[in-house]
Structures are given as C-alpha cells and as structure tokens.
Amino acid sequence: MAAGRDELNRINVFPVPDGDTGTNMCLTLRSVAAALRDLGNGEGDASLPLPYVAETMAQASIRGARGNSGMMLSQFLIGFRDGVGERLRINARELAAAIRTGFERLHSSLDDPMEGTILTVARETADEAGKARGESDLRVFMSRILGRAETALQRTPELLAALKSAGVVDAGAKGFVRLLEGVKRLIEEGHVAQGAVDRLTGEAGTSAAAQTEVEADKDYRYCTELMVRSSSLPDPATVRTALRPHGGSIVVLATGDLLKAHIHTDAPGAVFKLASTWGTLESTKADDMRAQHQALQARRPIAFVSDTACDLPDELVLQYDIGLVPMQLIVGDRAYRDRLELTAGEFFGRLRRGHDASTSQPAPQAFADAYTDAARAADRVIVVVVSSALSGTHGNAEAAARRFDEGKGRVAVLDSRSASLGEGLLVIRGVELAAAGWEADAIVKELQRVRAQSGGFFTVDNFERLVRSGRLGRGRAWLGTKLNLKPVMALTMEGKIEPVGRVRGRDAARRRMIELLDRALTPRPRALRLGIVHGDIPEFADALRVELVSRYRPMQCLVTPITPVIAAHAGIGAWGVFYQNED
C-alpha cells in the first residue's frame, strides 16, 4: 500500500478528485500494522490467540481510519473480525465466511452504496472466496481471490462514468487489491514488506485527480471526520439518517463505545455540534477538498527532504509529503534502513532481548534519489538534516546536492544543528511557510533565525548504550549506575551535545528539565512548538505532555518514540524535550 501511495492519489477521481486516497488508506493500514507489531514481544507475536489479534486489528483500524476509503476499509476489517469470532484457528472455509462478513459489514455501513468502487471488488472477492472455500492450500485460496479482485478492478470504469471519463480504475478499489497482494506475498514469501514512509519513486505521470472536475452534486467543500465515545451511542443507521441533511459520502462505523463518522459537507461545525449530542467528541477533522484539488492542479514550488533522525511521525511525513532519507542501522550481520525496515517498536523489542546495534549515515546516493523524487513534483528542494556536529549526514547531503544541482540552485541544504524533533519541528515550520507562499531562500533564512533561538534537553535512563557507542567510559558509567544518576544534556547553538547537570532518578530529571525550559522560555514565546521524544516510555511521555502544555501553552506539542538509529545510542528509557521559538 505504501509503495503505491502516490499512484493511488493520482487516480483518485471518485467521489471527489482530492488526490488523497493513497495517503488515507496507507495511514489507516499503518495504524493497524503498528498495533499488530506492538503485540507480544514487539515484533508481532504469532503465538497470541487469533481473536485477540483480530480485535486489535479492528480497534486500530477504527482509530486510524482516514477519509472515505480508509473508513470503508475499516468497515471491512471490523466485519472480518466479527467473522473470525472466537476461533483459535481458521481454515479456508472459515476464512471465506469471514471475508463475506467483512463485505456485508462494509455494504451495510454505506448511506449510498455505489458500484465501481471498493464495494464491487470486495463483493467479488467474497464471492470467489466462497467458491474457493474447499481449497486446502491457502496460497491457492489467496491466488484465486486476488485474481478475481484484479478482474473486478479492471471493470470499475464500466460501472462509474467518472472513472471511464478519466481513464482510470477506482483508487479505493485498487487499494483493496493492494491489501490482498500484501497478504498473498506474506503467505508465499514469509516476510513483512517495508514501512509506511517508503514508496516507489518511478515517473510521476499525469494526475487524473488534478484534471478531473468535481461533479456539481458532490461539490461539498470539507471532508469531515469525527470520533465519539459513549456508553449509549445511537446505532449507525440512526447516525446516517441524522447526517444526511448535512452532506454526502456518509460512512459510519461503530464498535463498543466508539463511533466514527465520515461525511462531505459545507458545514463541519454543524456536524460536530450534532455529534456532540451522541457522546464525548474525541477527535474532529475538516479538510478543505477544494483547496486540495487546486493544489493538485499546480506544481508545488517547494518540496522538503529530511533524514529519519528527524523523528517526525509517519502521519505528518505523509500529510506534508516530506521525503525521508533513511539512516543505516546494523544489527548483527545485517544492515537495516532506519524506520523503513526496522520500526521503533521492533527495535525496542530487540534491545530488551539484549541485541546490540551500530549506526551509519546515509550514502550520498540516497540523498540524490530523494532529490530526484522531490524535483519531479516541485521547482525547489529544501533539505533539513541532523546536526553536522553529530553526524556526517550533512556532508553527504551537500555532496549529493552539488552533483544533482550542477550550479542551478534548486537544492538548499540546511544544517538543523539539532536532532530528533529539534530537526523535525524545523521541517514543519518550513512546510507551513511554503504553504503560505514564501520563497525558498526566504524560508531558509527564516529557519536559520528560528534555529538560533531554539534548543533541546534530554536524558538517558542507563549508561549501557552510551558505553557501547563509545560516548562514555565504563568507569564513569558504573559509578553513575550505582548512584542512580541521570545525566541531563543539552544541544548547543552549534549543534553539539554538552552535559548540563546530573540528578538522581527520573522524577528529579523531569524537574531539572523543566527548570532548564523555564530559563530558556523566559519571557514566554507567543509562537512556541514543543516536541517530546522517548525510548519506549509512552505513559511518562504522555503525562509530561499534559504538564508542559499546561505550563507553556504551545501552539503544537508532538509526542513520538525515538527512531531506532537514535535509540541505538540513547537506549530504552531515554527521553527529551525540544522547543522551537518562532517569535
């Protein structure tokens, strides 16, 4: 799904040509994949009961469902979960029944079921699964249903005039086929595909989504989503009826005490007000589809590239279309691309089992490939990389830019003089300035200004990783461990790491960190972003976020686990806070 994200976005013409089907389906499945990876030992424990795994999948799909296509995919997965039931093992006959239940759940959830969409492909997949239920080999079973799904996909333009006019198949239906392809590949090859920030970098081609005009009866402005929690939710049919006067493309899913709804509307505020009568609104979203369509029709002036040490969550990477160049992580005799082939959850699991790892910077060619990809969509490329004082990554990024650019000035490389979210927050600010119409050179100067008044502090829970990486002697580490000392370190204005104190225990480290932040943020900035990163201690990080938001009132506060290439040096239990003053 991730590899085909851009293609799915380009062919997204129905129900509206807003060019985000690939992104929405990818984010939905990314949520599912992350939840499944976190089961058991952090790498997806195959010994866990099937009903528990299916329930985890369904719940993650509800929380992660994005857009019309993501909501429809989630409905299918919830129905599949219902079809699995309490079975601990499942054969082809029972698998076929679960697929049928998935289709029926999807069909019943739609306010206006349309053929030529994911609905058609899901139905024909279920039909073929029923015919193949006697197969004893799941590889043959999957091959048959995938073949039928692909045939159904090719028929979608015959069923929807918008697809035929644009000369494309339905994007959501193709995403569903890609999901089946991934399952078939896993069964046949026995390994998991690469992560969600990876994608193919083939020629972009013509965007059908950009060239397709919105049909008059579907010309609502906002793609609106909401999530409500209550112990007494209305049933989905009642919700669909209540939403109908407000717009179209309605999809409603509910399970337990959680309800999620999607609607295209001109009045998202009225929709949110209505939803608040059903329970507690946990999240809302309203994307301007007209603006999205206009953006598709124009070549972007600026694209952004960073490295995986920026620690930006996948959702933001995909939302802002940021090109990520992976660092290298060496575990045993194998090299992994950071985040793509080894996620944070997987790596933390390996650390807990005593595995060791070393790191390496990306090669110049990796940056050259990212520049080529970015230049297909934009006139200028701004590259924000990890501090040159901490890694040779900056040098490789500049070397690649010189060879790629040939003096044309298309690529600008900025040394973040930071790492983790200290680097990532700069990228976000740059993206916002580009969206506001700033020129590339002006953005680079502004980021340099912001960089000079920003910083970060971090600590580690134990000294093991620092010793292994050669950054601390064993004698000092032994003494620090015995005394329960936690070193508190800061990033200097030159992008170097320097110690600023030692305290006993995590709570003392938290108090010391807040003292340092108080000093750095006095007087209080009006435009402040914060970023909290952690080494597999999410509860602590979430509690810290509540405290910092209450204390400093930032306009944004991200919380994310550190990427494996940083965790290799900082270890489990490490955490840090980055601040970005944009006054």
The string of pLDDT tens digits covering residues 347-357 is 888 888 888 88
Contact 370, 323 (CB under 8 A): yes
pLDDT at 170: 92
Q: Which residues contact 159 (CB under 8 A, 6 or more apart)?
A: 115, 116, 120
From 308, 318, 282, select the one nearest 366 (Cα to Cα): 308
| CA dihedral sign of residues 563, 566, 571, 575 | negative
Strand partners, 556: 529
Contact 466, 458 (CB under 8 A): no
Contact 1, 118 (CB under 8 A): no
The string of pLDDT tens digits covering residues 19-74 is 778 888 888 888 888 788 777 655 555 678 999 999 999 988 888 888 888 888 99
Of 576 and 376, more confident: 576
DSSP state, 116?
T
Say how many Å lie between the first and final Cα of the chain, rounded: 40
The string of pLDDT tens digits covering residues 233-286 is 998 889 999 999 999 888 888 878 888 898 999 999 999 999 999 999 888 888
Amino acid (1-letter code) at residue 218: K
| DSSP string computed for 321-382 | T-EEEPPEEEETTEEEEBTTTB-HHHHHHHHHTT---EEEPPPHHHHHHHHHHHHHHEEEEE
> Does the pLDDT value for residue 16 go beyond 80?
no
- Can you tell me the distance from the alpha carbon of 536 to that of 510, in angstroms, rounded to the nearest whole number? 16
Using a cut of 0.85, tell me whether the model's pTM lies above it: no
37 to each of 48, 201, 308, 372, how far by Cα in Å? 12, 26, 19, 32
Q: How many residues does the chain have?
A: 583
State the average pLDDT over residues 542-563: 95
The string of pLDDT tens digits covering residues 150-176 is 999 999 999 988 888 888 899 999 999
> Does the pLDDT value for residue 211 go beyond 50?
no
> Does the pLDDT value for residue 205 go beyond 50?
no
Helix (H, G, I), strand (E, B) or coil at 454: coil
Q: 208-222, 291-305, 466-480, 487-501: which range is least confident on average?
A: 466-480
> Does the pLDDT value for residue 430 go beyond 90?
yes
From 280, 239, 279, 233, select the one nearest 262 (Cα to Cα): 239
560 to each of 31, 341, 367, how far by Cα in Å? 14, 18, 24
State the average pLDDT over residues 5-16: 81
State the average pLDDT over residues 497-521: 91
47 to each of 34, 84, 89, how far by Cα in Å? 18, 16, 11
pLDDT at 191: 57
Sketch out the chain's domains with CATH numbers.
Answer: 5-205 (1.25.40.340), 216-293 (3.30.70), 295-449 (3.40.50.10170), 455-581 (3.30.1180.10)
CB burial readout 137-151, b (16+ within 10 A) else e: ebeebbbbbbebbbe
48-57, 104-113, 324-333, 438-447 — which one is most confidently predicted on average? 438-447
CB burial readout 11-31, b (16+ within 10 A) else e: bbbbbbbbbbbbbbbbbbbbb
- Can you tell me the distance from the alpha carbon of 583 to that of 581, in angstroms, rounded to the nearest whole number? 6
Position 295 confidence tier, pLDDT thresholds 50, 70, 90: low
E strand or H helix that includes residue 76 = helix 67-84
- Can you tell me the distance from the alpha carbon of 429 to that of 582, in angstroms, rounded to the nearest whole number? 9
- Can you tell me the distance from the alpha carbon of 362 to that of 305, in angstroms, rounded to the nearest whole number? 13
Contact 1, 61 (CB under 8 A): no
Paired sense of beta strands 222-229 and 258-265, if any: antiparallel
Of 327 and 18, more confident: 327
Percentage, residues of the chain above pLDDT 70: 88
> Does the pLDDT value for residue 104 go beyond 80?
yes
State the average pLDDT over residues 460-482: 52
pLDDT at 296: 55
For residue 41, the Cα-to-chain-centroid distance in whole angstroms is 22
